[in-house]
Structure 1
Amino acid sequence: MAPGRFLHSHPYIYSDVEIVAIIEHARMLPSFYGPSRPDLLDAESGVLHIQQGKFGKERLLLLDPSVVQRPG
């Protein structure tokens, strides 16, 4: 491979089951900022509330509807 060239790997797409397992496991992890807050995702409005982001800033992230829609 020539200098300055990068080999990119293929992205891995997580299944719905894997995403749920990751989220459930993350809820059980200890937090430096106190107990976990399961109400930080407002699925009705599609907003994720980050309380302690980079540099301690609070952020509201609008999520794509495909992220919060429930299969059914």
Structure 2
Amino acid sequence: MFTKKFWKAAAERAAKSAAQALLGLWALDGFNVLNADFKLGGGVAAGAAVLSLLTSVVSAAGGDPDSPSLVAGEL
């Protein structure tokens, strides 16, 4: 968990989670750029990113110490 490789992978996962949450919110809301609530969207995306990072930190105890995954070794 204390390596650059771990944090790069965790950041990638967090960015993907944020994007998925934002796209999910917009899909459910019927996205319209003129009426979009960007403050809400930013909050949902940031919340998903934080949860993803926390999940990566907790998962580090169970798998490869250089990976944010619970699965040990290469898949």
Q: TM-score range with shorter-chain normalisation?
A: under 0.3
Greater fraction helix: 2
Larger Rg: 1
Q: If the length of structure 1 is used for normalisation, what is the TM-score?
A: 0.26
